[in-house]
Amino acid sequence: MIKRIITNTAAASVLFAVLVLTSGLIAQSPSPSPANGSSANSDYTITSSVETGFRYRDVSGNLNKYRSDLNYDTGFRLFDSSFYVEDHTGKSFFDKALFMGSGWGADPSGMFRTSMEKAGGFRFDANVRKVDYYNYLVNHVNPANAAFGEHFADTVHNFGDFDVVGFPESEIFRFKVGYSYNRTDGPGGFTHRAYSDEFGVKSDIDNGADDLRLGVEGRIYGFNMGLDYGHRWFSDNTRYFIDALNLGNNPTNNPRLFTFDRDNPIKGSTDYVNVRLQRTFAERFDVTARAIYSLTDTSFHVTENATGRDNSNNFVDQDLFNITGGARRPQVRADVGVTYMVTSKFRISNTFTFDDFDITGSNDSLENRVTRSAAGAAQAPFIERIVSWRSTSYQRISNLIEGDYQFGPRFGFHLGYRYTHRDVLLKGYDQNFRTNVITPTEEGATNSTNAFIAGFKAKPMKNWAIYGDIEKGSADNVFTRLANYDYTNYRIRSVATFGNLVWNVSAIAKNNENPAQSIIDPTRNVINDVSSRTFSTNVDWSPTQAFQLSGGYNYQYLTSLSDILVPLGVTTPPFGPYTPGVSEFYIRDSYYYVDASYVMKRVSFYGSWRFDDDNGQGSRATPPFNSSNIITSYPMGMHSPEFRVSVKLSRNIDWNFGYQYYKYRDDLAPSQNYSAHLPYTSLRFYFGTSADR
């Protein structure tokens, strides 16, 4: 797998280098050509530029947090570079070709893109990407060794798409072939719970997927039709282990692990078929339909073994798990939409959706534990086998009907109503061969929801438009044991143009209430109430072609209040000890930005400033640990100015230099704070038949 990733990346880089070299050689041709970044002779039009340079990184503060947020490094990098060619002879296998690359080197992400086409023949698109992902959670560290983070990932993610369309301009018949790959590997860490303690465990992350796509589309008897087939192979071969004595997160108690190893290979495949059609009759009645059938099969095998001491200080010579299982998920989804133009001003549309899937799975778990007493005496082995089976049936229908009326060029509105109905049935059993007990499970739920939709578009002035809509009703909860969401959403937006100035203002309000019933105390009703408000505005000003200025502000206001039950020792038989409380979460986030650019004959300037500040819970004091009320937020700030200067050294060379600064502030965990200085410089070379821009 690693060889394949290296091969893909190297191939993209080599190909790009060859193209750049080719464009450089072509640039030496003495044929005359136009300016403005392109060049042409009787056979070809060529435009190419390559920008490469160096970035320096200086970080003070928490390096792990910086890498989790940004992960820019010191070193050489490839900036936005491209090669574009047009063949006017008609003798080549392509008419147009574009090759682009960016981000390779010291950047955390890089991409290579290719687009090629031949009129009447084919279109080819390829996009190869790489992401160096790093994430370190400071709230999961070993108390005995704060330098060892137990939840982290340091992976390389390689993925790409390749698609060919045959006869792309044809309305009668087109075909498509596509392939995608997805690979992630690298070290990671997580925690394993055993013997009433928690242990940091390392992992070798290794997962991936491959997709194959085939399709045809065209027009038959006036219908635009399409048929797609796809197949995906996916697997996860991540291994979890410890390579030294592990005392756990509480080194003062008895539990510890001498060895730990878990192999959990997961393999599966998905097949799908997508059929669609569309036709408009007499330019008044439109029908669009789609049906998708998919089938996913998954199998897994877990082999886990641990040795050490348990919470009673017994020696654990073997704690072996062997688990095998699998699942199958067939699904059918169909959508049918119709739109009827009653008059030139009045339109009615209806969309019906049907969704049905079944999940059937089982697993066979065998545990074999061999222990000795603290004095070394052999104890009776513990052997337990449990077989489980589950089946979930899900069916949901949804219908949305809407009407639009346009009174004139200045005002229009729409009304709509949505209805959904859902049936869910869960069946299963657990069979314990050690106790010879079979526990059946069966649970069903039926649910219906309703929602009303309304909106308008108004133009008080020729250069001013206002959009607004509201949606109120109930929505399915993803968890069947909870009641529907009762929600009300508002949205309004204003766009005004005053000469060379464009001003946008928008506001969104969402209220979501989720009533439920406590499982611990069925007589108690609990509510989760989330209120969200978002306001944003931005201005773009271009007084001249050389000067542009834009800026904006966004404010997010969110309050979440949830009824909870906290185990603080108050006994209410038969449900156990708990104290009613409230969990509160707050966001009060302000985001500002300003961008400016100025272009002169030989020098251009660009500057930006971004500032993000979340005040969180504000002056609300966090209750003590043993309180039944919980107040949480994430007050933080990020300050990031940047400037860049580009100097035209010659007809085909620019010199760029710039500077980025990031300053992160965490009010609750100051140890997470960091600041980063990222100066960079680069040279951009322009190539063409006569080296013009």
For 407-546, list the strands marked E by DSSP: 411-432, 437-461, 464-475, 485-498, 501-517, 525-541
Query: Which residues have a Cβ under 8 Å from the Cβ of 367 and sit 6 or more positions away?
Result: 319, 320, 321, 382, 383, 384, 385
Asked whether the CA dihedral 180, 185, 189, 191 is positive or negative, the reply is positive
CA dihedral 21, 24, 30, 34 (to 10 degrees): 130
Query: Tell me, what's the pLDDT at 338?
Result: 97
Are 66 and 59 a contacting pair, CB within 8 Å? yes
Rounded average pLDDT over 264-276: 97
Q: What does the CA dihedral 614, 618, 621, 624 come to, rounded to 10 degrees?
A: -10
Instruction: Give residue 485's domain range.
Output: 462-634
Tell me how far CA of residue 53 lies from CA of 60, 566, 654, 682, in angstroms: 24, 57, 12, 4
On whether the CB atoms of residues 466 and 492 are closer than 8 A, the answer is yes
User: Tell me, what's the pLDDT at 357?
Assistant: 95
272 inside domain: no
pLDDT in tens, 462-481: 999 999 999 999 887 666 65
Distance, in Å, from the CA atom of 550 to the CA atom of 540, rounded to the nearest integer, reads 4
| Average pLDDT in the chain | 89
Q: Is the pLDDT of residue 693 over 60?
A: no
pLDDT(426) > 90: yes
Inform me whether the pLDDT recorded for 6 exceeds 60.
no
In a domain, 578, yes or no: yes
Structural domain contains residue 274: no
C-beta separation of 513 from 486 below 8 A: yes
- pLDDT, one tens digit per residue, over 395-407 is 999 999 999 999 9
Can you tell me the distance from the alpha carbon of 68 to that of 655, in angstroms, rounded to the nearest whole number?
Answer: 31
Phi, psi at residue 138, to the nearest 5°?
A: -70, -20
H/E run at residue 91: none
Residue 13 clears pLDDT 70, i.e. is over it: no
CA 391 from chain center: how many Å?
A: 29
Give the mean model confidence (pLDDT) for residues 219-224: 92
Q: Which residues pair with 566 in a beta bridge?
A: 579
Burial classification of residue 20, based on how many CB atoms lie within 10 Å of its CB (0-12 exposed, 13-18 middle, 19 or more buried): buried
Q: How many CA atoms lie within 13 A of 624 on its CB side?
A: 3
Residue 654, beta-bridge partner list: 648, 684
Cβ-based neighbour number of residue 399 at 10 Å: 15
Residue 570 is predicted with a pLDDT of 53
- pLDDT value of residue 691: 45
**pLDDT above 60 (res 197):** yes
Q: Residue 37: its pLDDT value, please? A: 43
Is pLDDT at 657 greater than 90 in this prediction?
Answer: yes
Task: State residue 307's pLDDT score.
Answer: 96
Residues 6+ apart with CB under 8 A from 659: 642, 643, 644, 677, 678, 679, 680
For residue 31, what pLDDT band results from cuts at 50, 70 and 90? very low
In sequence order, the 6+-apart residues with CB closer than 8 A to the CB of 570 are: 577, 578, 579
Q: How many CB atoms lie within 10 A of CB 146?
A: 10
Residue 520 in any domain: the answer is yes
For residue 65, with 0-12 CB atoms within 10 Å meaning exposed, 13-18 middle and 19 or more buried, which class applies?
A: buried
- At residue 138, the pLDDT reads 78
How do beta strands 603-614 and 636-650 pair?
antiparallel
- Residue 148: predicted pLDDT: 67
Q: What are the structure tokens assigned to 321, written together?
A: 């798990």
Identify each DSSP E strand in 237-314 by its residue range: 239-242, 256-263, 266-281, 285-309
- The conformation of residue 105, written as its DSSP 8-state character, comes to B
The burial class, CB within 10 Å (0-12 / 13-18 / 19+), for 78 is buried
Which tokens belong to 381? 């082995």
- The secondary element (H helix, E strand) that includes residue 18 is helix 2-27
Residues contacting residue 665 through CB under 8 Å, at least 6 positions apart? 636, 637, 638, 639, 673
Low-confidence winner among 82-91, 105-114, 225-234, 414-423 (lowest mean pLDDT): 82-91
Q: What is the DSSP string of 386-447?
A: EEEEEEEEEEEEEEEEEEEEE-SSSEEEEEEEEEEEEEEEEEEEEEETTTTEEEEEEEEEEE
Neighbours of 624 (CB within 10 A): 7
Residue pair 59/672 in contact (Cβ under 8 Å)? The answer is no
pLDDT at 38: 45
CA–CA gap between residue 600 and residue 585 (Å, rounded): 50
In this predicted structure, the answer to whether residue 122 has a pLDDT above a threshold of 90 is yes
Is residue 660 predicted with pLDDT exceeding 70? yes
Split at pLDDT 50, 70, 90, the class of 228 is: very high
Q: First and final CA of the chain: distance in angstroms?
A: 41
At 561-603, the pLDDT tens digits run 988 877 766 555 545 567 788 899 999 999 999 999 999 999 9
- Residue 367 included in any domain: no
Q: Which pLDDT does position 33 carry in this prediction?
A: 41
pLDDT class for 12, splitting at 50, 70, 90?
very low
On whether residue 411 sits in a domain, the answer given is no
* CB contact at 8 A, 104 and 110: yes
pLDDT, position 485: 79
Q: Which has the closest alpha carbon to 160: 207, 110, 222? A: 110
Evaluate if residue 382 carries a pLDDT over 90.
Answer: yes
What whole-number distance in Å separates Cα of residue 364 and Cα of residue 302? 10
Are 426 and 392 within 8 A, CB to CB?
yes
Structure tokens that stand for 534 in this block? 């978002």
Query: How far is C-alpha 61 from the geometric centre of its chain's CA atoms?
Result: 28
d(CA 328, CA 31): 64
Output 542 or 89, whichever has higher pLDDT.
542
Angstrom distance (rounded) from CA 181 to CA 207: 11
What pLDDT does residue 145 have? 61
Sign of CA dihedral 218, 224, 227, 228: positive
3-state secondary structure of 5: helix
Omega of the bond leading into 574 within 30 degrees of 0 (cis): yes
CA distance 141 to 135: 13
Question: Predicted confidence band at 8 (pLDDT cuts at 50, 70, 90)?
Answer: very low
d(CA 654, CA 445): 66
pLDDT tops 60 at residue 271? yes
Confidence category of residue 144, pLDDT binned at 50, 70, 90: low
Asked whether residue 155 is assigned to any structural domain, the reply reads no
Number of domains in the chain: 1
Would you place residue 90 in the very low, low, confident or very high pLDDT band (cuts 50, 70, 90)? confident
pLDDT tens-digit map of 38-67:
444 468 888 999 999 999 999 999 999 999
Structure tokens at 149: 């983070």
570 within some domain: yes
Are the beta carbons of 151 and 142 closer than 8 angstroms?
no
Instruction: State residue 457's pLDDT score.
Output: 96
| Residue 636 bridge partners (DSSP) | 614, 666
Q: Which residue in the block uniquely carries the two structure tokens 């049906």?
A: 291
- What distance in Å separates the CA atoms of residue 322 and residue 304, rounded to the nearest whole number? 7
Residue type, 55: R
- pLDDT at position 11: 42
Distance of CA 545 to the CA centre of its chain: 37
